Amino acid sequence: MFSSSGERPRAAAAVSGRGEGQALQAVLASILGCTAGILLLDALFRQSLTPAYVSGFVGPYGWARTALYIAKATGDEVERFFIQGAMMSIATRAAATRPVGIAASTALIALTHALIVVPQLATPPNLNQWVYDGLRFGGPGILWGWLLMRHGFAAAVLGHTMTHPLLDPLLNALLSRPHA
């Protein structure tokens, strides 16, 4: 778990107790930022939201529904851990003597997320839906991938799964209201 320079990677530092304050701050910021961003997107794109998406959040709110979203989020993060880890390992080996840059890392995180999420989405019927899906699912996915890379698996799972108990009741309230 040590690099060639003898320093611990960030994820190992978070697990060992070093940097746990930074990891916790990043997780909390990701939960709040992701929730705010999705609420804003859903308010802006309200006219374009599919009935299937809306029905996933509207109705009598129950924790059982949130528990299902948490289970799915955990599964997504397990997939991300293996896929992103393999891609980063290949990129690191290909780069050989120099570290993988932030642009390449971000591209690998986005590609990983696309491999996980795109098969789960229906083909968007129009450009507006393409833009919405890209922002709604792409933004959080890149955020969870960054948490994984920067602070480790536990931070990514915690950020992703704990967004739902905050976000889901707020989406229920937002999407239950008639829109203009």
pLDDT per residue as tens digits for the range 41-88? 999 999 888 888 888 888 776 788 889 899 999 999 999 999 999 998
HSE on the CB side for 180, CA within 13 Å?
2
Q: How far apart are CA 166 and CA 33, in angstroms?
A: 11
Per mean pLDDT, which of 5-19, 49-63, 83-97, 133-147 is the most reliable?
133-147
The pLDDT of residue 17: 52
State in Å, rounded, how far the first CA of the chain is from the last one. Answer: 55
CA angle 102, 114, 134 (to 5 degrees): 90
* Greater pLDDT, 99 or 156: 156
Question: How large is the average pLDDT for residues 11-37?
Answer: 79
The structural domains of the chain, with segments of one domain joined by +, span 10-176
pLDDT in tens, 159-171: 999 999 999 999 9
CA pair distance 109, 22, nearest whole angstrom: 21
